[in-house]
Structure 1
């Protein structure tokens, strides 16, 4: 079963796919469900119900009328899952989505079975804070092509950059430009304000933290801090992986996530 429509209650464009225990997907800033999870959607949907809401200004979701609020965004994602018939779920958060997932876990602990936090942060480290300022400044000046180039460089690993010819970066930069959602600036404005450090000790759900060690946008130290702050959290590293996982690294991610999800207590009837 696959649907892609606005589910009443959340006022967000929501992908619902598959059957089985639910996974609520929280995407990153300037991204979307396909952009963050597209390589693994079909695989996970074989035995899970995926609920993938798009933040305001992403996918088919209307742009926000004002600044995004983390509590409101977390609650809207939960309403989307409940409206899709899922009362409890694991939350898979990527980048900004990790902070959203953590806030969901502390505001709705009875609904959250587990967390998977990839390339996440509790608050923006100096590199991410500077990157956010640059993106907002370039976009405000209408330099969207430069935003796309900066995003491409930030999301590639050092190894990928070392092997790339400068001219070979033009096409992927153009693809990023074409895919940038209208809500990108709203998303990065939220990135600049997020602070869930006080939430970490309150997370009671089993948690897997995934740190791509080649991440140039969200330093892996941010993931290490998440794992250290969340009681009982388990952490794995993806050696050399970039902020946006390539197919090989995403396949490794999928194996670890599947092992983690399989070890969760079975849902009661």
Structure 2
């Protein structure tokens, strides 16, 4: 039985079909990271979405968060929901959780989809996170919301928003950051899964948003180059794919998983004499 050191409520479970476990981003939760694509994914998969400690109803532990424990939590959520094996879709920081889950639990993870992701934060990403954490410690929620809008929204998408739409987004950001955001962002000081990439032996799709200024396309190329046989797909949007290109993202995920399932070796059938 796969277990996790984190105490967490039952994960979100939607749909039916082959299991797909979701690993959300930092400063987010599973509905925030994946909300607009959940129903479409659930048309073809049993979608299982746990929330990290400090997100949703999952309590924070006394000790600092660890990438290994998050990976174990995600895998344990899949098993708890009744799935013996499953694909894992990671978004943003969730891509590192997904990679570590595949390496720590190769008997469980059958495929990976890594979107808006990275293997290790470069100097620019560390600076983005440092400013995010600093603003999060102030009482100026509007400035933090404006900063997050600039780094997660694609320039083209933001340019098309009306003033009213931008105000609505700022209000959502200001009200919606989970209490464990700073603890989750603290992981960026230690995350580095570059040493795990070559050990991945499952089909992998890397989804790179071309206008992503948070985890830039260079990060996606590092993932794709480091994972044997990985595919790289691009989308014309910013970091927040679910908000900007939900239909295209859902299609990339479901089509890739359908192809990998069809190509998977089937057990031999021995005729009875």
- Normalised to the residue count of structure 2, the TM-score between the two structures is 0.89
Q: Find the counterpart in structure 2 of residue 105 from structure 1.
A: 102
| TM superposition shift of 1:193 | 2.0
Q: Find the counterpart in structure 2 of residue 27 from structure 1.
A: 24
Q: Find the counterpart in structure 2 of residue 140 from structure 1.
A: 137
> Structure 1 residue runs of 4+, over 6 Å off?
none
Query: Closer, same or farther in 2 for the Cα pair 1:165/1:258, shift >3 Å?
Result: closer
Alignment of 1:150-229 (within 5 A): 150-164=147-161, 169-229=166-226
Matched length: 262
Match of 2:57 among 60, 68, 72: 60
| Whole-angstrom distance in 1 between the partners of 2:138 and 2:42 | 41
Match of 2:235 among 238, 254, 267: 238
| Worse-superposed segment, 9-18 or 116-125 | 9-18
Asked if 1:257 is matched to 2:248, the reply is no
Instruction: Specify the structure having the higher radius of gyration (Cα).
Output: 2
Query: Closer, same or farther in 2 for the Cα pair 1:84/1:167, shift >3 Å?
Result: closer
Superposed CA RMSD = 2.0
| TM superposition shift of 1:130 | 0.5
| Worse-superposed segment, 61-70 or 113-122 | 61-70
Is the Cα–Cα contact under 8 Å of residues 118 and 219 in structure 2 kept in the other structure? yes
Query: Which structure 1 segments of 5+ residues have no match?
Result: 1-6
Is the Cα–Cα contact under 8 Å of residues 90 and 98 in structure 2 kept in the other structure? yes
Query: Closer, same or farther in 2 for the Cα pair 1:265/1:162, shift >3 Å?
Result: closer
| TM superposition shift of 1:65 | 2.0
Is the Cα–Cα contact under 8 Å of residues 8 and 83 in structure 1 kept in the other structure? no
| Whole-angstrom distance in 2 between the partners of 1:143 and 1:124 | 26
Query: Which structure 2 segments of 5+ residues have no match?
Result: 268-273
| Whole-angstrom distance in 1 between the partners of 2:141 and 2:55 | 17
Query: Closer, same or farther in 2 for the Cα pair 1:9/1:195, shift >3 Å?
Result: closer
Match of 2:12 among 1, 8, 15: 15
Q: Find the counterpart in structure 2 of residue 4 from structure 1.
A: none
- Normalised to the residue count of structure 1, the TM-score between the two structures is 0.91
Is the Cα–Cα contact under 8 Å of residues 138 and 147 in structure 1 kept in the other structure? yes
| TM superposition shift of 1:165 | 5.8
Is the Cα–Cα contact under 8 Å of residues 125 and 219 in structure 1 kept in the other structure? no
Is the Cα–Cα contact under 8 Å of residues 10 and 77 in structure 1 kept in the other structure? no
The superposition leaves residues 41-78 of structure 1 with CA deviations (integer Å, 9 ceiling, x where unpaired) of 11221221111000001111112323110001111111
| Whole-angstrom distance in 1 between the partners of 2:107 and 2:166 | 46
Match of 2:146 among 146, 149, 154: 149
